[in-house]
Chain A
Amino acid sequence: MKIAVLSGKGGTGKTFISTNLAAALKNSVYVDCDVEEPNGRIFLQPQDVQTEDVNRLIPEFDSDICSACRKCVDFCRFNALIFIKNKPLVFKEVCHSCGACAYLCPEGAVTETERKVGVIEKGRHGTVDCITGILDIGEASGVPVIKKVLQEGEKLACKKGGDLIVDCPPGSACSVQESVADADYCLMVVEPTAFGLHNFKMVYELVELLGKDCGIVINKEVEVYKPLEDFCREKKIPVLLRIPFSKKIAGESARGILAVEENKEVENIFLALRKKTGGKAS
């Protein structure tokens, strides 16, 4: 089963929940799709790490063949091409790798070459596979890295017959959409505050639109936040787990400690959480 852990708001504890869940399950694959700020590896400390580049296609123009017809420049929807000195020039950062310029060129002057936009790291934490996507600094879109991480994760989870735990980026935009699209279950981590509820509603809209099974974990609960309880009741969203706010948990997380491996009781809590999401290990 593929479980996407998401939140809308940042810092609610997605990585805390997903790394501990993956570690408790043991025969699982953890993938970090928060490629702008990947932190799962801090907790899982993967060993025997292998690194692979993630590339994207970028057009190159052969000035000997180019007839300066400008078809590509006029067509490009992302304004990634400009016409300088009778030749198209590409702005690599804005190019979406759609391939339109190569398709349209009547002279065949465009070749597409690979350009690195990030890396993925594959390693192991005991029996847990840990795959991390890392976007290169200065790159605008993490989507190609996320796609690659998910692909690798699915392959591994399938092979070992374990669950795939997907640690999503915050928000509800395109990168989150990408991470959630194929999930069997959406586990939403919510902070019981006005900010937390507001962002949870946004991400729930996405989960609802995609028609996914879902449930929530209320994290850092200082006291019951009634508007959140009301919303869940109204929408019939099950609350699977409540984690009280504790300076001890916050302190341990700050030091990168994996709670399930410190404390058997916590491990049982996470195993129970997995039971509540239903579904078999794939």
Chain B
Amino acid sequence: MKKLLILSGKGGTGKTTVAAAFMRLSKASAVADCDVDAPNLGLVSDFQGERRTKDFIGAQKAFIDSNICVACGLCASKCRFSAIEKENGTYHIRDIACEGCALCTAVCPVNAISMLDDVAGKQCLLRERQKNNGSRIFSGAKLKMGRGNSGKLVTEVKSALFKAVAVKESDLVRHFDPSRDLAIIDGSPGIGCPVIASVAGVDLLLIVAEPSISGFSDLSRLLETGNQLQTKAVVCVNKWDISRENTQKIKNYCRQKEVPFVGCIPFDRKVIEAVNQGISPVDCESSSGEALRKIYREVLSRLAG
């Protein structure tokens, strides 16, 4: 199975719109939404089927038993994350600040502190049975607000996806067939922990860039990250006609960095209309839909080759 990850660096350039279009065009058997901070792919997905959810335990967090605590304050003085607060003479943990290092449990002279599991989000897995006895899998998750560990959750979302499709991978070795052997992964913005976690093990990065100075700066930081992680990347530009000048700049930059440029999507109001109806621009007649089809074909040929 070929794994395609869609990233952008800058937020809001159109990752999810591109991912949703590719889902429609390919009938990919495996799809994951790894933007666990702002998961939107499910809003425009056409998956129907059995849905399973489970809690995601991000880390453990400290808990102070006030019946045992002697309020010596040693834990608070050693905590590097300012996660222990004194209120009305007793100490308690600020869950959102606690990183779960457990140093306080070692410091406490009366053993009043223990580590408890913290539910940091929810994972879901959808399995859609198909006529040919196969199935399509959608894996996603939502991080609880203010929680860290997004990298760990991204890894879980991916591993849940590939565990669910594992049976198919043992199928006979055959030619790459995008209607079956493609995994589409929608990533998160930025270049930090969730992005690094999402890149592991994928075959190709499709970067959706925006023709603005901000978009250009973010693209170059993301390409450098991809380079460090030794993963091949291709670039497309969304809303290219917002700035022809910056689009050209991105194209030139890609040529210089030897990163294949796979196409441009025009600004198109139909995209917003489609998103608000829970569909994709490739479902209706639109200039953006046409451009997305072209980019899709180009990306497939890169994946197959």
- Chain A residues near B (Cβ < 8 Å): 8-12, 15, 36-37, 39, 42, 75, 77-78, 96-100, 103-104, 135, 137-142, 169-177, 191, 193-195, 198-199, 202-203, 205-206, 209, 222, 225, 247, 250-251, 253-256
Whether the Cβ atoms of B80 and A98 lie closer than 8 Å is yes
Residues of B within 8 A of A140 (CB): 151, 192-193, 196
Which chain A residue lies CB-closest to B151?
A140
Whether the Cβ atoms of B275 and A193 lie closer than 8 Å is yes
Whether the Cβ atoms of A137 and B221 lie closer than 8 Å is yes
Tell me the smallest distance from the CB of A273 to a CB of chain B, in Å.
21
A104-B106, A174-B150, A202-B38 given. 8 additional CB < 8 A pairs?
Answer: A10-B11, A96-B99, A98-B99, A98-B103, A103-B103, A137-B191, A177-B146, A195-B43
Whether the Cβ atoms of A12 and B218 lie closer than 8 Å is no
Whether the Cβ atoms of B243 and A251 lie closer than 8 Å is yes
Whether the Cβ atoms of B243 and A255 lie closer than 8 Å is yes
Residues of A within 8 A of B192 (CB): 36, 135, 139-142, 175
Which chain A residue lies CB-closest to B107?
A103
Tell me the smallest distance from the CB of B271 to a CB of chain A, in Å.
9
Query: Is B224 in the interface zone, CB < 8 Å from A?
Result: yes
Query: Is B60 in the interface zone, CB < 8 Å from A?
Result: yes
Query: Is B217 in the interface zone, CB < 8 Å from A?
Result: yes
Whether the Cβ atoms of A77 and B101 lie closer than 8 Å is yes
Whether the Cβ atoms of B191 and A98 lie closer than 8 Å is no
**For chain B residues 95-119, which have a beta carbon within 8 Å of chain A?**
96, 99-103, 106-107
Query: Is B211 in the interface zone, CB < 8 Å from A?
Result: yes
Whether the Cβ atoms of B276 and A194 lie closer than 8 Å is yes
Whether the Cβ atoms of A15 and B37 lie closer than 8 Å is no
Tell me the smallest distance from the CB of B269 to a CB of chain A, in Å.
6
Query: Which residue, of A36, A198, A222, A253, has the highest number of chain B Cβ atoms within 10 A?
Result: A36
Given contacts A37-B218, A78-B101, whether A170 and B276 have CB atoms under 8 Å apart is no
Contact residue among A39, A78, A135, A195 (Cβ-Cβ distance under 8 Å from B191): A135
Residues of A within 8 A of B281 (CB): none
Which chain B residue lies CB-closest to A199?
B38
Whether the Cβ atoms of A193 and B188 lie closer than 8 Å is no
Residues of B within 8 A of A256 (CB): 212-214
Whether the Cβ atoms of B146 and A137 lie closer than 8 Å is no
Given contacts A37-B10, A97-B80, A193-B276, whether A222 and B37 have CB atoms under 8 Å apart is no
Residues of A within 8 A of B242 (CB): 247, 250-251, 254
Cα–Cα, bound, A138→B226 (Å): 9
Cα–Cα, bound, A255→B242 (Å): 10
Residues of B within 8 A of A251 (CB): 242-243
Given contacts A11-B210, A77-B60, whether A174 and B148 have CB atoms under 8 Å apart is yes
Tell me the smallest distance from the CB of B225 to a CB of chain A, in Å.
5
Query: Is B134 in the interface zone, CB < 8 Å from A?
Result: no
- Chain B residues near A (Cβ < 8 Å): 8-13, 16, 37-38, 40, 43-44, 59-60, 78, 80-81, 96, 99-103, 106-107, 142-143, 145-148, 150-151, 188-193, 196, 210-215, 217-218, 221, 224-225, 228, 239, 242-243, 245-246, 267, 269, 272, 275-276, 278
Residues of B within 8 A of A77 (CB): 59-60, 100-102
Which chain A residue lies CB-closest to B59?
A77
Cα–Cα, bound, A247→B268 (Å): 11
Cα–Cα, bound, A8→B143 (Å): 12
Residues of B within 8 A of A255 (CB): 212-213, 243, 245-246
Q: Which 9 residue pairs across A and B have the least CB separation, nearest first?
A: A10-B11, A11-B12, A98-B101, A171-B37, A254-B212, A36-B190, A174-B148, A140-B193, A39-B214
Residues of A within 8 A of B60 (CB): 77
Whether the Cβ atoms of B101 and A96 lie closer than 8 Å is yes
Tell me the smallest distance from the CB of B280 to a CB of chain A, in Å.
12
Cα–Cα, bound, A144→B138 (Å): 35
Which chain A residue lies CB-closest to B16?
A195
Cα–Cα, bound, A8→B35 (Å): 11
Residues of A within 8 A of B278 (CB): 194
Which chain B residue lies CB-closest to A207?
B145
Cα–Cα, bound, A169→B275 (Å): 23
Whether the Cβ atoms of A39 and B218 lie closer than 8 Å is yes
Residues of B within 8 A of A137 (CB): 191, 221, 224-225, 228
Cα–Cα, bound, A188→B232 (Å): 36
Cα–Cα, bound, A247→B38 (Å): 26
Whether the Cβ atoms of B276 and A206 lie closer than 8 Å is no
Residues of B within 8 A of A103 (CB): 78, 103, 106-107
Contact residue among A99, A100, A172 (Cβ-Cβ distance under 8 Å from B145): A172
Cα–Cα, bound, A10→B63 (Å): 34
Residues of B within 8 A of A12 (CB): 11-12
Cα–Cα, bound, A202→B40 (Å): 11
Residues of A within 8 A of B103 (CB): 98-100, 103
Cα–Cα, bound, A229→B13 (Å): 24
Cα–Cα, bound, A113→B276 (Å): 51
Tell me the smallest distance from the CB of A8 to a CB of chain B, in Å.
6
Some 22 contacts from A to B, beta carbons below 8 A apart, are A37-B11, A37-B217, A77-B100, A77-B101, A78-B101, A97-B80, A103-B107, A140-B193, A171-B188, A173-B147, A173-B150, A194-B43, A194-B44, A194-B276, A195-B275, A209-B145, A225-B276, A251-B242, A251-B243, A254-B243, A256-B212, A256-B213
Whether the Cβ atoms of B102 and A172 lie closer than 8 Å is no
